[in-house]
Amino acid sequence: PIIGSTVSSVVSLSAYETRRINNLLILEAMRGEVVEAIPIENFDGTESKVKHMAYPVKNENGNIEGIIYLTYRLDSVYETMDNATKMLTRATLLALAITIVLGFFLAKSITGPIKELTMKAKEMSKGNFEEVVEVKSNDELGQLAMMFNYLTMELKKNISQVYQEKSKMETTFNYMADGVITFDLDGNIIYANPVAKKIMDIQDEKNIDGDQLLSEIDYQLSFGFLKESNYTNNVIVNINDYIYKINYAPFKNEIEEVGGVIFVIQDITEQQKLENMRKEFVANVSHELKTPITTIKSYTETLLEGALDNQETAKYFLNVINNESDRMSRLVSDLLRLSRMEYNQADWNKIYLNPCELLTETLEKLKLRWETKRQKLEYEGCKDDITVLFDKDGLEQIYQNIIGNAIKYTPEEGKIDVSCDLVDNCFVIKIKDNGIGIPEEYQERIFERFYRIDKARSRDFGGTGLGLAIVKHIAEAHDSKIEVDSTPNDGTEFRIVIPAIIRGELDV
């Protein structure tokens, strides 16, 4: 309706009941305000929301001429809104469902490769480097998979190289002649090779106290002492009658700091023995040369001082000088020959010969010596025709030396038995006497250079002290051996064992 300015007059009215007009809205609109209200009204028993609006109408002067009063039932609006709400709800739920499904597949497409990477990484941590991640795309995850596969290959290659180096090192340590032990700075054994375990009698390296083990090696050694010496030094110790040289030095860890100490245990027993023998040899040679030189010099000085005038004295002195010169000559000759044999430089003229015939000839040459001492020498000749491959001069020297020693160390009117026989295809010569004998502990050493059991008594008997050493080398050069069996004050038996040549082999 259109209401006039007097409020009570209705200028125009549409199909609407005047009683439904809200007077309060009209009064407020008359004051120049646009007002509205939405009351609930009853239409034929049906309640509906109705929107009431009052608009003031003004003239050109701004005075209110009237009121436009509008009413509108909101049922269709609310119905439309309800329908729209339902549609929006359905659309929202559908969109949410689609989003969830898409999100699930999207998340799966992202987390799937990550889970696969995680699983492969776990396998790799267990040492399985054969697993490969499938590259399904070229995005960030695909690039990550490619880098993971590359990392796996590189790690496999590096670990393989490390394993090979470790295997080489362990093999080297396990089969090297020296002992190797590594300690950390707390004294715990990191590694000990079999040689070190045997030397130090290590049963379980996990239960070994480092300081205690070091103190057993040398009472001065401890990890405190090692630290003071910058973990670098060497010591020579005696363990169970063996001589060892122990070198130790630090090794560094991954941050270039001292991570522990490595010990290398070298058995120098034989080296020390050879060094002692060398010193003894030099001392013996010096002594053996000095003695005749001193004798020659003193006798020569005596002759020069006037002993030449006494013909008998001069002759005696000159004989002594001549004998000492011969002794020096023999010594130098024996030393040179022994040196050549030790370095396999001796020239052997090996021929087929009858050792029995050569033995008979040698005994004939020595006959005067045993007859001079009124000794009884019994010789039992060979029953078989035996042939050996030997250097004739070398075999004769063996006979001369061993039978000569028997004559030398057997007292006057003593007895010497010489016999030979064929035993197990070997020609065996036995020289047995009833002389002074050799104690058992010295029987292995009599073949060493210059070795004498009783130096004073040996000097009285003469000789260079090299005879048996030369004899041993001659025998070994001909695949032969010399055995000795002796009892002090009861005599000695030497056995010369030479491979015999079978007649059939000789004919071929």
DSSP 477: H
- The top-level CATH class assigned to 2-73 is alpha beta
| CATH code for residues 350-507 | 3.30.565.10
What pLDDT is attached to residue 9? Answer: 55
Domain-wise residue ranges, the chain: 2-73, 176-267, 272-342, 350-507
3-state helix/strand/coil string of 125-148: HCCCCCCCCCCCCCCHHHHHHHHH
What pLDDT is attached to residue 224? Answer: 67
DSSP 466: -
What pLDDT is attached to residue 460? Answer: 53
What pLDDT is attached to residue 328? Answer: 80
Whether 480 has a pLDDT exceeding 90, the answer reads: yes
What percent of the chain clears pLDDT 70, i.e. is strictly above it? 86
N-term to C-term CA, the chain = 157
Q: Is the dihedral of CA 56, 60, 65, 66 positive or negative?
A: negative
CATH fold match for the domains 2-73 and 176-267: yes
pLDDT digits (tens, 9 = 90+) for 197-207: 888 878 777 77
| CATH code for residues 272-342 | 1.10.287.130
- The top-level CATH class assigned to 176-267 is alpha beta
What pLDDT is attached to residue 508? Answer: 44
- Please report which confidence band the pLDDT of residue 222 belongs to, taking 50, 70 and 90 as the band edges: low
What pLDDT is attached to residue 495? Answer: 94
What pLDDT is attached to residue 479? Answer: 92
Rounded average pLDDT over 365-394: 88
Cα(266)–Cα(244) distance, integer angstroms: 5
Q: Is the dihedral of CA 288, 291, 295, 301 positive or negative?
A: positive
